[in-house]
Amino acid sequence: MITKTCIAFLVFLFVVGSFTPAAHSAPDIHFGTLPVLQALPLFVAADKGFFKEQGIDVELVTSNSSLEKDIAFTSNKISGYFGDILTCMALNANNIPIKIVSVIHNATKNQRMFALVISSKYAGRPKEAVHAGIAVSSNTILDYLTTKFLASKNIPLEQANIVEIKSIPIRLQMFVAGQVSAAVLPEPLASLAVSKGAIVVTDDAGTGWSPTVLAFNDTFLAKYPDKVKAFQRAVEKASAYINSNPEDVRPIMNRECRIPDQLKQSFPIPQFPKLALPTPSQISDVSRWFNQKGIIKKEVPYKQMVADGYLP
C-alpha cells in the first residue's frame, strides 16, 4: 500500500525532474571576435540564424581587446577568431598553430577604416602635429598603419613623437582633450573625432593596407574542414545580406559594434566583399615590417600563414 508520505515523495521527484535542465551539446565552434565594424557579418550571421541554416552551432565570444582575444585563443577557449594579419602572424611566429582562411573586409576606395587625424590648431601642418605627439599602440595594426601614413606624407618616422596609448577609447579621449595633437584611429572613432573638429590627414581608403581576416587553429582545420566551410558560407551570406539591406542591420551594428550615440543614425553601413584569401604581398609586407622592427627575425612564408581550400 502506498502511503501519503510515499505519494508526496513521488510528487516531489516528479516536480524536481520536470525542472531538471535538458542537456545541451557544446557549440560546434567557439569563435572569438571584437566589437568592431569589420566584424559585422559575424554578428549578422548569428542574429539572422545563418549559422544554424548551415547546420552548425556557433558561439561568438566577444573580447574587449585583441590581447584578451589572443589569450582566449592560446588557452584553447576559442577555436577560431576574427582579427588582422599582424596578430595572426605574431601568434604564428610564436609557434601558436593558427592559419588565416579568408579576408572578411578591407577598406574600399570610398570607405576608410583607419585614419591619421590631427588637431585643428595644426591645420596644414601635419608634420608639426606629429612632432608634438602622435598617439599609437606599438606592434599593432595601428602602429603598422602609422608607418604607412607618415611615409605617404613624407614625414620621417624618426621625427614623430610616439606616445604609447594602448586603449583606443583613452587615445580618443586624450586627443579630443588636446593632450596629444595627432592620433591614428579606427572608424567610427575617426569620424567622431572629425565631428569634434579634428582634421583627417590621410586614411586607408583604397590602399589595401588593412585587411581583416578569419583564422582557425590548425588542428581544428584538419579535424573539422566541413564546419569551417559551413561557417564561411554563413558569413558570406551575411555579407551579401548587409550589402542588400544596410538599414535593416543598423540596429545590429549599433549594438554589437559599439557605435557612438552621435553616429548611430548617420554612420554609413560598411560594404563587404566576397570572402577571399589574402594576397602574398599583404602577407610579405607585414612580415617585412615585423622584421624591420626586430620582432620577427625572418620572413614568414605565405603557406605558413594561409590555409587554402576553405572558401565557400
Give domain status of residue 122, yes or no. yes
- Confidence grade of residue 66 (pLDDT, cut at 50, 70, 90): confident
CATH number of the domain encompassing residue 169: 3.40.190.10
pLDDT at res. 25: 56
The answer to whether the beta carbons of residues 309 and 221 sit under 8 Å apart is no
Same-domain pairing of 234 and 90: yes
Give domain status of residue 20, yes or no. no
pLDDT at res. 15: 35
Of 172, 203, 234, the residue that ends a domain is 203
Same-domain pairing of 58 and 95: yes
- Residue 19 predicted with pLDDT over 50: no
Q: What is the pLDDT of residues 238-255, one digit of tens each?
A: 999 999 999 999 999 999
CA separation for the pair 216, 242 (Å, rounded): 24
- Confidence grade of residue 12 (pLDDT, cut at 50, 70, 90): very low
Q: What is the pLDDT of residues 127-136, one digit of tens each?
A: 999 999 999 9
Average of per-residue pLDDT across 224-240:
98
Name the residue with cell 604607412: 148
pLDDT at res. 20: 36
The answer to whether the beta carbons of residues 306 and 284 sit under 8 Å apart is no
Look up the domain containing 143 and give its range: 114-203
Same-domain pairing of 234 and 281: yes
Average of per-residue pLDDT across 153-167:
93
- Confidence grade of residue 65 (pLDDT, cut at 50, 70, 90): confident
Average per-residue pLDDT in the chain? 90
C-alpha cell, 110: 570610398
Give domain status of residue 1, yes or no. no
Give domain status of residue 311, yes or no. no
